[in-house]
A = this chain, B = another copy of it.
Amino acid sequence: MIQEERRLAVLRAIVEDYVATEEPVGSKALVERHGLGVSPATVRNDMAALEDEGYIAQPHTSAGRIPTDKGYRLFVDRLTTVKPLSSAERRAITTFLDGAVDIDDVVQRSVRLLSQLTRQVAVVQYPTLSGSTVRHVELVVLGPERMLAVLILSSGRVEQRIVEVPVPLGDDALAALRSRVLLAAVGQRIAEAMAALGELAPDPEELPPGAPSVVPGADPRTVAAVVDVLLEAMSDERSDQRVAVGGAANLARFGDSFDTAVRPLLEALEEHVVLLKLIGEAGSGGLVTVRIGAEGPYEQLASTSVVSTGYGPGGGALASLGIVGPTRMDYPSTMAAVRAVAGYVSRILDES
């Protein structure tokens, strides 16, 4: 059907014009700006049909049309042509990210980069513990009853904890404990390492005080203290929920609808758990997820959209990143930027 195609072209034109001008677009302006070879009246008929189907709406009678969430959805799913980044943007990504010195720096630079590229609020999750493997564990004696446990993960993250030990360890016992821990944890994924470590330290209260330790020469309570701290570091929910946020100044461009859009979003930006949930359902390997307006779980964010994806070594979804902005945004460019940054960050993680 030829009219069917034209209708979609009209919808695309409406979305593009509305995103560019932020004003309801009328039939006359449409035919002028886009080279549809038909008259305004014809476009009006198409618009009426599109409105019946719920893709566009009028703010009030005798105003132009604006896309609905459903309209944006159709646009994103079927009408976007892949929009390659400009060479300046590519260059910006490489120069921006190549100077990063560690994983935290990568995340912070990414969030800045992403907010500048998209001119939206950017959100980048720090790599989660749970997706990575244990690269090394070190135990350091700080004093007679204090030790430091250091946990180094494949994602480049280093966690350290102070341990208060009830019974000091001799050198031999320390070496034994160290090798046992390394054997149990190194190379394993977090979940497996936790299981293996757990076996090293049976609940000390179930043992008689003088019972033989799993680790020769080390008091079982000391072993348990060390293991507990390591387990705690591995299961630290706080560090799984860390996110970096940037570009809040871009909210100033929201223009209208301060109360309905900006305020709830500002509040959400403080709630890292909420942000994680927003950008969390992300595809991986170049797949970008778009959540438009009321499709999301938060009523108050009904006029915001989320564009997100996963990143991680090998393109896996170790963590998520994305942007939050008004439903009225330039989806093709934004999606391209999100995909590109995620890809580049993943490659950096591959190398390190």
A residues neighboring B (CB under 8 Å): 105, 112, 136, 138, 140, 142, 148, 150, 152, 158, 160, 238, 246-249, 251-252, 258-259, 262-263, 266-267, 269-270
Contact of A138 among B105, B112, B140, B238 (CB under 8 A): B140
**A259 CA / B150 CA spacing, docked (Å):** 48
Known: A150-B160, A249-B263, A249-B269. 12 other contacts (CB 8 A): A105-B238, A138-B140, A140-B140, A148-B152, A148-B158, A160-B160, A248-B248, A248-B266, A249-B266, A249-B270, A251-B266, A252-B258
| Residue ID in chain B nearest A262 by CB atoms | B252
| Residue ID in chain B nearest A264 by CB atoms | B249
**A112 CA / B251 CA spacing, docked (Å):** 21
Question: Is the beta-carbon distance between B270 and A252 smaller than 8 angstroms?
Answer: no
In whole Å, how far is A37's beta carbon from the nearest beta carbon of chain B? 43
In whole Å, how far is A40's beta carbon from the nearest beta carbon of chain B? 37
In whole Å, how far is A137's beta carbon from the nearest beta carbon of chain B? 10
Contact of A136 among B138, B142, B263, B267 (CB under 8 A): B142
Question: Is the beta-carbon distance between B152 and A142 smaller than 8 angstroms?
Answer: yes
**A259 CA / B251 CA spacing, docked (Å):** 11
**A112 CA / B267 CA spacing, docked (Å):** 12
Instruction: Kindly list chain B residues whose C-beta atoms are within 8 Å of the C-beta of A158.
Output: 148, 160
In whole Å, how far is A45's beta carbon from the nearest beta carbon of chain B? 41
